[in-house]
Amino acid sequence: MNAVRNFTGLMIVAALAGTASAQTSYTYLAIGDSVGFGITNGASYTQFSNGDRGYVSLFADYLTTQNVGLRPTVRNISIFGDDTVTLGNTSNPARVLNTNYPLFPAVSQLDFISTQIAQASLAGRPVQRVTVSMGANDLLGVVQQPGFLALPSLQQAALVFGALNTAQNNLASLYGSLRAQLPTAEIIAVGYYDPFAVLPGNPNPALTAGAINQLNQIIQATSTAFGARYVDVYSAFSGNEAVLTNMLLDQTTTAPNVHPTDAGYQVIANQIIPTPGAGLVMATGLVVLSRRRRTA
DSSP letter for each residue of 185-227: SEEEEE----GGGGSTT-S-GGGSHHHHHHHHHHHHHHHHTTT
β-partners of residue 74 are 28
The percent of residues in the chain predicted with pLDDT above 90, rounded, is 71
Strand partners, 131: 30, 188
Domains parsed from the chain with CATH numbers: 2-295 (3.40.50.1110)
Q: What confidence tier does 118 reach under pLDDT thresholds 50, 70, 90?
A: very high
Q: Tell me which of 56-60, 63-67, 175-179 is least confident.
A: 63-67
Specify the pLDDT at position 209. 63
In which band, very low, low, confident or very high, does the pLDDT at 206 lie, cut at 50, 70 and 90? low
Given a cut of 90, whether residue 48 has pLDDT beyond it is: yes
- pLDDT tier for residue 293 given thresholds of 50, 70 and 90: very low
Per-residue three-class SS string for 2-32: HHHHHHHHHHHHHHHHHHHHHHHCCEEEEEE
pTM confidence score: 0.85
Cα angle, residue 263 at apex, residues 259 and 264 outer, rounded to 5°? 40
Q: According to the model, what pLDDT value does residue 207 have?
A: 60
Residue type present at position 286:
L
Q: Is residue 246 over pLDDT 50?
A: yes
The more confident residue out of 199 and 225 is 225
- Residue 119 vs residue 140, higher pLDDT: 119
Secondary-structure breakdown of the chain: helix, strand, coil percentages, each rounded to the nearest 5: 55, 10, 35
Closest CA to 127 of 53, 61, 54, 75: 75
Q: What pLDDT score was predicted for residue 196?
A: 87
- Asked whether residue 291 carries a pLDDT value surpassing 60, the answer given is no
* C-alpha closest to that of 44 among 98, 106, 87: 98
Q: Is the pLDDT of residue 94 over 60?
A: yes
Between β-strands 229-231 and 127-133, what pairing exists: parallel, antiparallel or unpaired? Answer: unpaired
Span 154-197, pLDDT tens digits: 898 899 999 999 999 999 999 999 999 999 999 999 999 999 88
What's the rounded Cα separation, in Å, for the pair 154 and 12?
A: 69
